[in-house]
Structure 1
């Protein structure tokens, strides 16, 4: 949210070597906004995770800053879901970023299934560790 992540856009601004295309979809220039909201890969992950959690919100909007989508999404859900939804959004964004880095630095192939399953597994672990908000929204918690 503070534009400090080393995406291709930031590497270019600093004059560092980089590939312009998104490492997850290879379709557009890699910016943080694209990576978390506009990327076809990420949008499929968001669809899977938000559907799994039965979150009554839409997907992130490619042209809307992620933090604005996040805050407006919290306004759409009951108060009892807000902490859990925030945790799930943070967790999902983090794992999309981690998978992006695995693709770049370890040569992994982008996998929606792996990323979605990892987010679900982590959400269950967070719920077991006491994240009560997540316990309210994820199945089987």
Structure 2
């Protein structure tokens, strides 16, 4: 997979996913696959995703490493299913639906990004004081 395509995927995930962020697209990790009935080991790049908000069984800081080899394999299947995807890949204009399907299939159905329609901007951190609590019913004038 081209680095530019991985970067486009990372930008789309960052812009539309509120509970996962891309931490790295260049890290190499071990990758095992079966060839001719034998287990082979190699290394390849991985798309590293990290949970930024606890959700369901996934806790804050949980990481997944989706291998480039799995992404390539799923992308080739998707290109056969959807001929217009070839143009979008070449131009670097993948849709968020393309990225959601690609990551879901490459992770064997484990990662479901659930992207939002609008660009997601993480909220700025604000310290809670007595005057700006999030639950107004607990604000008691002193």
TM-score (norm 2): 0.35
TM-score (norm 1): 0.35
Q: Which has the higher helix share?
A: 1
Q: Which has the higher strand share?
A: 2
